Chain A
Amino acid sequence: MSPRLRLAVLGVALLALVPGAAATIAHLPDFGATIAAYGERINAIAPGERHVANMVSAINFDLRGLDTLGEEFMLLAAITGTVVLLRGRRGETLTDRAMRLPGRAILPRSEAVQLTCRLAGPLLMMFGLYVVLHATVTPGGGFQGGVILASGTLLAYLGEGYGGWRDMVRSHWLDALEGGGAVLFTVCGLAPMLTGAAFMQNVLPLRTFRDVFSGGLMLVENAGVALAVCGGFTQLFLEFLEETREADGPEEPGEDSA
């Protein structure tokens, strides 16, 4: 396609799209002017009907149900696709041993970095667990907590080096975490149907407002999402790191720390 033709196509596209876009932008409500009707309705309903203080969790894990299942599997599909692409080139053989690339320098961690990571890692994991468990009370939820948990495992990599990290993190466990989390979430959706309720209807008893267990089934669903996200992100990181290694490493495990 020649540059002139491209410009012509761009011009035609702009002519067609700009009037519509301009009209839409002109009719948008002013910045921060109003809360949409849907938001007001949710704010009115959720605390009374679901005993939940975090409206985002109430929408994601209860009121809209099936959509969140799609979201969950979108992430699962994306991570599976990445893993298939990376392993497809490298071969499917898995190893729990840290591989290393010949000729690459081994970078030792300074003691300050190690200490910081050993102190901050567990604290970060605790915070991640808190975010997951308090999804119905405070901002956050399974996804955010899961990513924070995954960042905690990355701190272990930063502090201990690749060899130490692979001694802690097993590829099979990550697969199990990711798949198990997705299965748990799906079961949370299907199990209520056995009792005659709708898909993902909140059948567990709702507790008092602002309680950890206030959301009933939402807590279990959040745990499933957190497992899947934590396992998925760590798996993604592991696969990308393996990309920089070579399959035929030396016999000593845990040597590389680059």
Chain B
Amino acid sequence: MSAILILLFLLTAASGTAVVLIRDPARQIFALAGNGVVLTILFTALQAPDVALSELAVGGAAVPLLFLVALMAVRTGRRDEEHEG
């Protein structure tokens, strides 16, 4: 196993742990996107460009964007309740 693979595995573990440890949802989404990008590089290094492309599109862009929008929806809902109460 080459040095770059070891480095990438460590990065994957670190970025994955960061997603769990970060408690603020907005920052957590960006940590998740970062983890997706690290996984993309790992898959590219393991010579799986097809999987890498899927991971980049879904893990790096689509899922974080959906989470961001969902978070926005939750926040507006909470503000409405405060407004009424």
* A31–B62 touching, CB < 8 Å: no
CB distance from B30 to the nearest CB of A (A): 16
A31 to B9, CA, bound (A): 13
* A54–B73 touching, CB < 8 Å: no
With A144-B57, A237-B69, A243-B73 as known contacts, state yes or no: A150 contacts B62, CB within 8 Å.
Answer: yes
Chain B positions within 8 Å of A165 at CB level? none
How many chain B residues have a CB neighbour from A under 8 Å? 19
* B76–A144 touching, CB < 8 Å: no
Instruction: Give residues 17-58 of A contacting B (CB, 8 Å).
Output: 31-32, 54, 56
Instruction: Give residues 55-74 of A contacting B (CB, 8 Å).
Output: 56
* A140–B53 touching, CB < 8 Å: yes
State which of B46, B49, B58, B69 has its C-beta within 8 Å of the C-beta of A240: B69
How many chain A residues have a CB neighbour from B under 8 Å? 25
Chain A positions within 8 Å of B1 at CB level? 31-32
Residue B72 is within 8 A (CB to CB) of chain A in the complex: yes
* B76–A140 touching, CB < 8 Å: no
Q: Which residue of B lies closest to A239 (CB)?
A: B69
* B69–A241 touching, CB < 8 Å: yes
State which of A54, A144, A244 has its C-beta within 8 Å of the C-beta of B69: A244
Our count of residue pairs bridging A and B at CB distance below 8 angstroms stands at 51
Chain A positions within 8 Å of B72 at CB level? 244
**Main DSSP-derived SS at the A contact region:** helix
Q: Which residue of A lies closest to B72 (CB)?
A: A244
Residue B22 is within 8 A (CB to CB) of chain A in the complex: no
* A244–B73 touching, CB < 8 Å: yes
Chain B positions within 8 Å of A150 at CB level? 62
**Main DSSP-derived SS at the B contact region:** helix
CB distance from A247 to the nearest CB of B (A): 14
A131 to B62, CA, bound (A): 17
State which of B50, B58, B69 has its C-beta within 8 Å of the C-beta of A147: B58
State which of B46, B62, B76 has its C-beta within 8 Å of the C-beta of A151: B62
Residue A6 is within 8 A (CB to CB) of chain B in the complex: no
State which of A103, A141, A151 has its C-beta within 8 Å of the C-beta of B61: A151
* A240–B70 touching, CB < 8 Å: yes
* B62–A147 touching, CB < 8 Å: yes
Chain B positions within 8 Å of A54 at CB level? 50
Residue A213 is within 8 A (CB to CB) of chain B in the complex: no
Residue B18 is within 8 A (CB to CB) of chain A in the complex: no
Chain B positions within 8 Å of A139 at CB level? 49-50, 52-53
A233 to B54, CA, bound (A): 14
A interface residues with partner B (beta carbon < 8 Å): 31-32, 54, 56, 101, 103-104, 131, 139-141, 143-144, 147-148, 150-151, 154, 233, 236-237, 240-241, 243-244
Sample of 14 more A-B contacts, CB < 8 Å, known A143-B54, A237-B65: A32-B1, A139-B52, A140-B53, A144-B53, A144-B54, A147-B62, A150-B62, A151-B61, A237-B69, A241-B69, A244-B69, A244-B72, A244-B73, A244-B76
Q: What are the 6 tightest A-B residue pairs by CB atom distance, in nearest-first order?
A: A139-B49, A147-B57, A144-B53, A56-B50, A243-B73, A240-B69
10 CB contacts below 8 A, A to B, read A32-B46, A104-B76, A131-B53, A147-B54, A147-B57, A147-B62, A151-B62, A240-B66, A240-B69, A243-B69
